[in-house]
Amino acid sequence: MGFLAPLFLGALALGGLPYWLHLLQQHKTTPVNFSSLMFFERRTTTSTKQKKLKYFALLTMRLLALLLLILAFSQPYWERTIAAGSGKRMLVAAVDTSFSMRRGGAVDIAKQQALGLAGKVTPAEPGIVVAFGSGAREIGQKAEDFGTYRNNVNAIVAGDERTSYAELSRVLRGLSEAHKMPLEVHVYTDQQKSGMPARFADLQLPADAKLEIHDVAPAELPNFTVEAVTPPGRIFDTAKARVRATVAGLHTPKAVKTVSLVADGKVLATKPVEIAANGRASVEFIGLDTGYGFHRGEIRIDGAADAFPNDDTFRFSIERSDPRKVLYLHSNRDSRSALYVKAALDAAVPNAYAIETGSFETTSTPNLTNVSFVVLADPGALPAPLEASLKDYVQKGGALWIAAGAFTGAQSKLPVLGLAVKESRMASRSREMFQTVASKEPLHPVIERAAGLESVKFYQVVSVEPVAATKVLAKTANGVPVMLEQAMGEGRVLVLTSPLDNLGNNLPLHPAFIPLVERTAQYLSRQQESTGIVAVGEGVELRAATDRATGVEVLDPKGDRALTLEQAAKATSFAPGTEGYYEVRRGNGRSSLVAVNADRRESDFARMEAETLSLWKATGEPGESQKVNAIGERTERVSPWWWLLLFVLLLTLAEGVLASSYLYGSGVGEQAAAELVGKEAA
């Protein structure tokens, strides 16, 4: 027997504390009233009765509780030996199904080797088949016979995900906890170094797990790959469209490769590119002769590039469309704000928007046909026909952006929406020099990418009174809304309670202005930008977290639905599991095309070091609490510390009951209560 924390045994000296308290309690006597002591001689008296202990049972319980508490903290333990071979193990066959395992038929080789373990599967030592890539999952049910195990292994298929050994270790820890058995794990993989996690602690195996790594892939091969592509996403002028690509050589000599630009299966251009040994090279194509709508593009390496052609093609999606029409209405005195907004949109998405400007004074019945959204720059009091036209436009599904300024602040209500205007607050030296955003809604599509909005200085803010249907997207420290949103019929209205020029704030000169204007334009026009390119396993945004009213349908590369009915109604994103083109159809009639490629880290076949493998295996070996001798006997430390704490709790409860019985059973409690009542009466 031993102690894991023997220093706590020094607290045994506290055992004298209950004994001293019991003796101290005996020296308390009840005073007796006496007329005078002047005729008595002073003498020293002794009392053996006061030095005798009383309530031995109570003292014993207190001493025992203290002793057990000290022992619990010192963590006593003893060792027990488990005979060799007496412990049963669960067999786990983990097959790597990541993208890199497609080379040389590695997945098929792994499945054949995993079938060789079928003879070990018995009801006493069952087998579990796990397939892992970026995630790990069990295949079928726990197998207790050859047939079930074989069917589970044969059900494994190669995937396009990235390797993650951390996910495999996490699932193994869960299996050990769920089945309460030691694991014998056989991993069939290409030992790809890129699959190792950033933290080695994530590879921790369950206790007493035996790990065997089986290399099923050919040696490191030279590999050329299209590493990245930067497409325009949306095309407005086909002659100026640019597509840039990066071609990489991994463990390769110097070479010249032919790279092609393909759209909808048609080769549009071809260029040679020289790649240095183990290097990278860039290639650019100018011009995309495509029709209107979405198109499926590719950058590919032509010819027999290497022994792994799966990553010689990189997919992307493009859309050709006309610029979206925006109507910008302002007063005749405003000559700045439209220039700022137009410059921001041209900088963020060149040629994507066509802005038509007009004044409130001369525009009464604007043509709102095919207008993506309308901007009202400090409208003030609008002419009745214009306001009625805008209300009808929004009610039918249009979008409006109102920027309030001095003219709007002078009115009692906000035009179109009708929200009450309380005041127009101007910065002054007697109050604050300026106001800033103190809180915002970070998940809103307009706010989420406007980094640094908190540092914008607002010199003028129109205080608008929100109603129940109004969403406050950003506000100052004293609660004045800076950005609002309100639904109106089938449309939506955004309100900025400060002007869009640089007189009421410094927003047009702030880095947050361009992303704010870009996201506002995208949000109001209800045009979801083509997601373009994502890697397998990455999230594709379907709808904003605050927008659950629009249904979404996703079609996979085979044309099948990729989402369940519940996911189509509620999911804000989805993670594609295979390469190809995914079509996203939204209930508002908008669609987008998403190109999905395998993570290019899978193209590097460099293997993890032997030392790393040894350390990974060692994480499942017995720790300090377990020892294995030469003949395979396992010695474990067993500590009853938690039982000791349970006994301390029970003794404490019993001590309280016994102390109460002594106090009130002897009449001491009643006497003390009577004296207290007498003092209060006096």
91 token code pair = 């067999």
Domain containing 157 — which CATH number? 3.40.50.410
| Alpha carbons 326 and 438: distance in angstroms, whole number | 31
Q: Per-residue pLDDT tens for 658-679?
A: 777 766 665 555 555 555 445 5
Q: What confidence score (pLDDT) does residue 86 get?
A: 47
| Alpha carbons 469 and 201: distance in angstroms, whole number | 49
- In this structure, the answer to whether residues 425 and 366 fall within a common structural domain is yes
Q: What confidence score (pLDDT) does residue 334 get?
A: 86
Q: Which of 321, 343, 364 is the last residue of a domain?
A: 321
Residues 6 or more apart whose CB falls under 8 angstroms from that of 350 comprise: none
Q: What confidence score (pLDDT) does residue 85 get?
A: 45
Q: What confidence score (pLDDT) does residue 313 get?
A: 95
Domain count, the chain: 5
Residue by residue, DSSP assigns 53-120 as ---HHHHHHHHHHHHHHHHHHH-EEEEEEE-TT-S--EEEEEEE-SGGGGGGGHHHHHHHHHHTTGGG
- In this structure, the answer to whether residues 489 and 548 fall within a common structural domain is no
Q: Which of 321, 337, 352 is the last residue of a domain?
A: 321
Whether residue 296 is contained in a domain is answered as yes
Q: What confidence score (pLDDT) does residue 84 get?
A: 44
| Alpha carbons 540 and 555: distance in angstroms, whole number | 13
In this prediction, residue 181 has a pLDDT band, given cuts at 50, 70 and 90, of: confident
CA atoms within 13 A on the CB side of 444: 20
Domain containing 586 — which CATH number? 2.60.40.420
Residues 6 or more apart whose CB falls under 8 angstroms from that of 137 comprise: 130, 131, 171
- In this structure, the answer to whether residues 256 and 231 fall within a common structural domain is yes
| Alpha carbons 208 and 67: distance in angstroms, whole number | 35
Whether residue 561 is contained in a domain is answered as yes
Q: What confidence score (pLDDT) does residue 81 get?
A: 64
188 token code pair = 């069939």
Asked whether 562 and 574 are in contact (CB, 8 A), the reply is: yes
Question: Phi, psi at residue 388, to the nearest 5°?
Answer: -65, -40
Q: Per-residue pLDDT tens for 279-314?
A: 999 999 998 888 888 999 999 999 866 778 999 999
pTM above the 0.75 mark?
A: no
| Lowest mean pLDDT, pick from 23-32, 256-265, 344-353, 544-553 | 23-32
Domain with 11, as residue range(s), is: 2-28+51-75+641-681
3-state secondary structure of 234: strand
- Hey, CA dihedral for 500, 505, 511, 516, is it positive or negative? negative
Q: Per-residue pLDDT tens for 613-666?
A: 999 998 887 654 455 555 445 566 677 877 888 888 888 888 778 777 766 665
CB atoms within 10 A of CB 442: 10
Q: What confidence score (pLDDT) does residue 429 get?
A: 47
Q: What confidence score (pLDDT) does residue 570 get?
A: 81
Q: What confidence score (pLDDT) does residue 19 get?
A: 62
Nearest to 182 by CA among 143, 157, 210: 210
User: Which has more pLDDT, 426 or 136?
Assistant: 136
Asked whether 416 and 402 are in contact (CB, 8 A), the reply is: yes
Nearest to 137 by CA among 121, 159, 120: 159
- In this structure, the answer to whether residues 288 and 143 fall within a common structural domain is no
- In this structure, the answer to whether residues 495 and 586 fall within a common structural domain is no
Whether residue 315 is contained in a domain is answered as yes
